[in-house]
Structure 1
Amino acid sequence: MDRDKIGELLEKLEETESLLNRELEKEAESLKCDFLEERVPLWDYIKTAKPGYIATAPFIYAMIVPAVIMDIFVTVYQGVCFPVYGIPKVDRKEFIVFDRHRLRYLNMLQKLNCLYCAYFNGLVAYVREIASRTEQFWCPIRHARRVRGVHRRYWHFLRYGDGKDLKTRWMKMREELKE
């Protein structure tokens, strides 16, 4: 495919993306209507919660401490190591997104829960991307047995036991990571 055709396709893709973003903004505006009648008052929300939910809340929220520590360590790790290896840094804000707390139909506790889940799940995705780039650089070899929930880079790794031209293929994978 020639460069002109690729350029045209990229322009069409950008136009489509721009149109999609405008449509999403319109949708977000339409959702700003008043949903306050849907909001469950905080005290009613707590009163009707199952006792087990209330009893386990401290355990759930205590996980924020190791999560923040992991966030700090992983961010420092990629900040120090990735430039040395020539690996592009992972943009944290692409993974950790806070927006659901703005929904007017949620009470304060529901908003807090949404902030917690957005942070925790976004953090796990952020850490996974950093780990997958690290794995591609240092050990891009699949496991001998099936592994559940592999990252998106995994299937591009070398097959287990396939050591043919290992150094050449390994270096190629490192170069692909830098692109």
Structure 2
Amino acid sequence: MTARMEALAQEIVRLQTELDREIERRRRALGWSVKEHLVQFEQGLVAEHKRLRMGVAAFFAQSTLLTVVTAPVIYSMIIPLVLLDLWITIYQAVCFRAYGVTRVRRSDYIALDRGRLAYLNWIEALNCLYCGYGNGVIAYAREISSRTEQYWCPIKHAIRISDPHQRYYDFLEYGDAEGYRTRLNSFREELARAPVATDDCTDHFPKAGSGLAVTGKTNRAGEQE
């Protein structure tokens, strides 16, 4: 990677850090935080969320016929998603161990926490759980496939591709034959040293997981909201 490319990559990291800080400021403005895997809302917010929850009857009343008819098609995707989830997990358990590649932790990509929000009715909560699972599985599979690509073929394409995975930016340029022969092993060695996610992350940006417990802070009457 050239000095210019490295400088741009560092700028991307800086901007991502700044974006994370802005997201955290927005979260505080909305009155919630995460401490020891518990989502805590400021006093009174949970009750306000429940007040804003739409009943199931009203939810169906405002839904279009096409929404109702296509719902089974949407939810049928759970079958290939579960199969992908299972298959990609077995794949990395077998192949990554054989190659010496650090395995991807599934819980870093699949989060099922939105279903606990008090302003969602059970249908909306189910939709959120489904979307969180589906997109999480895709992200999980993408990281596994990106590590596979780095191991076997860390070469950029000749044509521009839309939204490549982050490892792609460090790949060798198309046509760099000497680089491929001299640096392939170093790309593979990097995978053996890939950082393993831990649970010592900050309270504000917890790792995705099976879901976070949501609590309300105790009000003045001593009741849990």
> Does 40-49 or 163-172 show the bigger shift?
163-172
SS of 1:24's equivalent in the other structure is strand
Q: d(CA) in 1 for partners of 2:146 and 2:39?
A: 33
Render the CA deviation track for 1:76-111: whole Å, top value 9, x for unaligned: 000000011010010000000110011011000000
Q: d(CA) in 1 for partners of 2:93 and 2:146?
A: 15
Which segments of 5 or more consecutive residues in structure 1 lack a partner in the other structure? 1-19
- The one of 4, 23, 30 equivalent to 2:41 is 30
Aligned partner letter, 1:61: Y
Equivalent residue for 2:205? none
Output the TM-score relative to the length of structure 2.
0.67
Q: d(CA) in 2 for partners of 1:50 and 1:154?
A: 42
Q: d(CA) in 2 for partners of 1:105 and 1:24?
A: 17
Q: d(CA) in 1 for partners of 2:119 and 2:177?
A: 57
> Does 24-33 or 163-172 show the bigger shift?
24-33
Q: Which has the higher helix share?
A: 1
Q: Which has the higher strand share?
A: 2
Render the CA deviation track for 1:24-72: whole Å, top value 9, x for unaligned: 3279422552111101001110121011111110110000001101111
Q: d(CA) in 1 for partners of 2:52 and 2:179?
A: 62
Moved over 4 A (4+): none
Matched, 1:80 2:94: yes
SS of 2:146's equivalent in the other structure is helix
Q: d(CA) in 2 for partners of 1:53 and 1:115?
A: 18
| Matched-pair identity in % | 44
Q: d(CA) in 2 for partners of 1:165 and 1:151?
A: 21
* Structure with more relative contact order (C-alpha pairs < 8 Å, separation 6 or more): 2
Which segments of 5 or more consecutive residues in structure 2 lack a partner in the other structure? 1-23, 25-31, 194-225
> Once superposed, what is the RMSD of the aligned Cα atoms?
2.1
Aligned partner letter, 1:163: A
Render the CA deviation track for 1:123-175: whole Å, top value 9, x for unaligned: 11000000000000011001000000100000111101110142221111111
Output the TM-score relative to the length of structure 1.
0.84
Q: d(CA) in 2 for partners of 1:156 and 1:119?
A: 29
